Amino acid sequence: MKIWQKNIDVDSFVESFTVGNDREMDLQLAEADVLGSLAHTRMLHSIGLMTAEDLQAVQQELKKIYQEIQDGSFIIEDSVEDVHSQVEMMLTQRIGEAGKKIHSGRSRNDQVLVDLKLYFRSEIKALFDGTEVLFKQLISCSERYKNVLMPGYTHLQIAMPSSFGLWFGAYAESLVDDLHLLKAAWTVSNKNPLGSAAGYGSSFPLNRTMTTELLGFEDLNYNVVYAQMGRGKTERIVAQAMSSIAATLAKFAMDVTLYINQNFGFISFPAHLTTGSSIMPHKKNPDVFELIRSRCNKIQALPNEIAMMTTNLPMGYHRDLQLLKENLFPAFQSLSDCLEIATFMLEHISIKENILDDPKYDYLFSVEVVNNEVLEGIPFREAYKNIGLAIEEGTFKPEKEVQHTHEGSIGNLCNDQVERMFESVKAAFGFEKVEKALNDLLK
């Protein structure tokens, strides 16, 4: 069944090529499609395009279909083109003529648009939740190991003293900035396109503000042409936010693969969380973090993939946009998996203490010795020259007491301030409003 079909049979080869993987992708939009129809039909009733009796039948059956989706029993039949056709067909089969009325005032184009916006909101919330759990674990590790020193590097050369508190805390704060980009993606996704029809509006007196409120959207995509133009752009913005989180995870994973290496030996994990070699019995490989690194690098390529698929498309709908789902949808699960397993691994990490007792790290403290001379009244350039000569002559003696007190330094991590920033960006999303609206819609 195709909701656009008339009396002409489409060639089976053409049909197979144009449908592609859309049925599989559309299963992920099923809940959103029902939610959109629940709101749309209530609006149709409010403007006189659906009777109270028809509305009651449609609403009741849509909620049953929603439950079937949640139970895992909902399918898109092979003879049905997409999720929208499947829902409409099920309604018509179960309640008769009332099911045929739900498409009034909307096109499949804006039906897809609202489904995607609702789906993206749900996935963004899931990504936020996963990021929050990882953030809290990083802060916990930062506090737990704040007094354990480690080498800091520039150019992969030993540079200055650092600490595990700084290392873990740096990635926690990085996630806060990533969430600002995720919030931007949420803002764009949290605007209602429903009612734009095929991109040029409708002659029906649609109440688009009503569906906006019913679905918990913060605002409308007002211009109906732009509502359609937003497809592809919204996906790219969401992908950019995902790529930012992925970049933080990929960098952290790279650090882990270095620090677990025997030449570093700063951290370790239980043997059952690493993998071995088929011929080298001593190996404990950090496969989890290598796969996090690779998965997240793939996600960082996603915004460019989407941009290349949508570049130079004129306004209006084009079938090219269908393929965006195949690139974007699997990335949500992949990134969520990376967040979850990174948190799990951190719960089992072991940290090596007294690393800097090794003489090879003595030069880490050269800046400390320079600064100590400056505190005694020697000009910085003179002190720098004195310590440089001592290093060249082999007479340098490190002073391994680290006294850093300013904000964000070894001795003053300011994790409480980082947590404050996290809570501030969390509050800006307004997840509660959306949850309440959708719960009310499903009552």
Tell me the per-residue pLDDT of 55-66, one tens digit each, with 9 for 90 and over.
999 999 999 999
Using the CB atoms, write b or e for 119-147: b if 16+ within 10 Å: bbbbbbbebbebbbebbebbbebbeebbe
Average pLDDT score, the chain: 92
CB neighbours of residue 394 within 10 Å: 6
Mean pLDDT, rounded, for 311-331: 88
pLDDT beyond 50 at 1: no
Which tens digit of pLDDT belongs to each residue from 379-406?
Answer: 999 999 999 999 899 988 888 888 889 9
- The pair phi, psi for residue 276, each rounded to 5°, is -115, -175
Percent of the chain, pLDDT > 70? 94
Q: Which of 127, 236, 234, 245 is nearest to 188 (CA)?
A: 234
- Label residue 5 by pLDDT band (50, 70, 90): low
State whether residue 72 is helix, strand or coil: coil
Residue 14 has pLDDT above 70, yes or no: no
Q: What is the pLDDT of residue 78?
A: 83
Decide if 175 contacts 131 (C-beta within 8 A): yes
Read off the DSSP letter of residue 131. Answer: H
| pLDDT score of 367 | 87
Mean pLDDT, rounded, for 117-131: 98
- Domains in the chain (CATH in brackets) are 12-101 (1.10.275.10), 109-194+222-357+413-431 (1.20.200.10)
pLDDT in tens, 352-383: 999 999 999 998 888 888 888 898 999 999 99
Instruction: Output the pTM of the full model.
Output: 0.91
Q: Tens digit of pLDDT for each residue in 289-305?
A: 999 999 999 999 999 99
- pLDDT score for 369: 86
